[in-house]
């Protein structure tokens, strides 16, 4: 069954956040101090998250990505993923992680039925990586990437948030990972989530990223797969991995948006940058499957045409990506 929104866009992808907690503190995602954590009772229980995923698949969602915060820090995550993998009609189960716990957990994740991994990695230089993540250990993430492939995952997709003056000097190095390591790399424009003045300085437009790669490499367009979202994809001829550009700020990709989101406290969102949230708790406590399906469909139908971010500003309320799930 094909799920379409009021504008005719196919919606086949749910990003489901299981926690707002994280074992890193990336500068672009969270402030250094003063992040209010969700109260334990507000976080959805695994059976409630499973009910949401089942309802979403029953109305036409085909791909579910588990995200956070850092999903691998939540106790019991592997069993939860194994339950999701058994949902009939779910065609793709994916997980986003910062990679810190991947070396230890990759084999269990694979056995549980996770089909693909996205790993955040913003620098290949230890000091820069540690500064961006406020203390993260680059070697642990690289070891996690290696282990994931050893246990049978396809090469994880690497997500790099490009920040001018921080890691933009590494754009070519990351592009060349598609040749040397064979991972696909997605360059993400820095998005303003917390009202901070001067954020535009950090944001390197996608076109500039492409031009910098093109100074050394030919880039050919790549057809996108079944669940491809709003990235524009290219390949350096001969490279195993592809290069994707996500232009959330400089170019609106909203016409290609195929997703809805649910936060770990049960708020459904049709757009990352809209303040519209639909509370799903009234369908879960107590469980009313019909109402849950209807409410998810309403979120799809109410998806806005586009978000309101541009280099001149934005209108959404403050949030951290860890609260929504990116």
- Binding footprint of ligand SF4 on the chain (CB under 6 A): 22, 24-26, 29-30, 68-70, 98, 120, 321-322
CB of 106 to ligand SF4, least distance (A): 17
Query: Residues 101, 107, 108, CA angle at the centre, nearest 5°?
Result: 80
Please tell me whether residue 29 binds ligand SAM under the rule CB under 6 A.
yes
CB 161 within 8 A of CB 188: yes
The least CB distance from residue 119 to ligand SAM, in Å, is 7
Look at the alpha carbons of 246, 248, 253, 257 in this order and tell me if their dihedral is positive or negative. Answer: positive
Burial class of residue 197 in the structure, from the number of CB atoms within 10 Å of its CB (0-12 exposed, 13-18 middle, 19+ buried): exposed
Work out whether 161 is an interface residue with ligand SAM (CB under 6 A). Answer: yes
247 binds ligand SAM (CB under 6 A): no
Q: Give the total of residues touching ligand SAM (CB under 6 A).
A: 20
Smallest distance, Å, CB 26 to ligand SAM?
A: 6
Residue 8: strand, helix, or coil: coil
Among 12, 19, 51, 120, binds ligand SAM (CB under 6 A): 120
C-beta of 32 vs 290, nearer to ligand SF4: 32
Report the Cα 126 to chain-centroid distance in Å. Answer: 23
CB of 191 to ligand SAM, least distance (A): 4
268 vs 44: CA distance, rounded Å: 12
State which of residues 49, 260, 284, 321 lies at the interface with ligand SAM (CB under 6 A): 321
- What is the nearest approach in angstroms of ligand SAM to the Cβ of residue 121? 9
* Cβ atoms of 49 and 16 closer than 8 Å: yes
CB nearer to ligand SF4: pick between 10 and 27: 27
When the beta carbons of 184 and 320 are compared against ligand SF4, the nearer one is 320
Pairing of strands 116-120, 92-97: parallel
Instruction: Out of 12, 57, 68, 247, name the contact with ligand SAM by CB under 6 A.
Output: 68
Contact 23, 74 (CB under 8 A): no
Residue 287, strand partner residues: 284
* Percentages of the chain per state (helix, strand, coil), in multiples of 5: 35, 20, 50
Q: Which is closer to ligand SAM, CB of 190 or CB of 234?
A: 190
Block residue for tokens 């030919």: 218
**CA–CA dist 197, 170 (Å, integer):** 25
Residue 94 sits in the site that holds ligand SAM (CB under 6 A): no
Question: Could you tell me the smallest distance in angstroms from the CB atom of residue 57 to ligand SF4?
Answer: 25
Considering only residues 167 through 226, tell me which ones interact with ligand SAM, judged by CB under 6 A.
188, 190-191, 193
DSSP states of 185-210: EEEEE----S--TTGGGTB--HHHHH
| Residue 190 contact, options ligand SAM, ligand SF4, none, Cβ 5-8 Å cut-off depending on partner type | ligand SAM
Binding site for ligand SAM (CB under 6 A): 22, 28-29, 67-68, 70, 96-98, 120, 159, 161, 188, 190-191, 193, 321-322, 325-326
């Amino acid at each position: 069954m094909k799920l379409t929104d009021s504008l005719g866009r196919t919606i086949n992808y749910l990003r489901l956040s299981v926690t707002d907690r994280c074992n890193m503190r990336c500068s672009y995602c969270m402030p250094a101090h003063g992040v209010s954590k969700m109260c334990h009772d507000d976080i959805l229980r695994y059976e409630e998250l499973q009910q949401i995923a089942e309802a979403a698949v029953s109305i036409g969602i085909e791909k579910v990505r588990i995200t956070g915060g850092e999903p691998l820090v939540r106790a019991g995550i592997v069993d939860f993923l194994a339950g999701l993998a058994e949902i009939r009609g779910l065609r793709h189960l994916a997980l986003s992680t910062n990679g810190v716990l991947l070396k230890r957990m990759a084999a269990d994740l694979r056995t549980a039925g996770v089909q693909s991994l996205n790993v955040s990695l913003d620098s290949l230089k230890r000091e820069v990586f540690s500064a961006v993540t406020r203390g993260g250990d680059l070697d642990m993430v690289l070891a996690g990437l290696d282990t994931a492939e050893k246990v049978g995952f396809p090469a994880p997709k690497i997500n790099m948030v490009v920040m001018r003056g921080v890691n933009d000097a590494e754009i070519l190095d990351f592009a060349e990972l598609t040749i040397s390591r064979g991972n696909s790399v997605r360059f993400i424009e820095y998005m303003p989530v917390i009202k901070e003045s001067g954020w535009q300085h950090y944001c390197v437009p996608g076109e500039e990223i492409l031009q910098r790669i093109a100074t050394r490499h030919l880039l050919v367009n790549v057809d996108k797969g079944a669940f491809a979202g709003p990235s524009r994809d290219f390949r350096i001829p001969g490279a195993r991995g592809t290069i994707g550009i996500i232009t959330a700020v400089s170019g609106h990709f909203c016409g290609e948006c195929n997703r809805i989101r649910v936060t770990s406290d049960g708020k459904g969102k049709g757009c990352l940058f809209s303040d519209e949230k639909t509370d799903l708790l009234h369908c879960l406590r107590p469980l009313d499957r019909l109402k849950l399906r209807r409410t998810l469909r309403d979120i799809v139908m109410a998806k806005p045409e586009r978000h309101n971010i541009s280099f001149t500003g934005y209108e959404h309320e403050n949030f951290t990506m860890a609260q929504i799930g990116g």
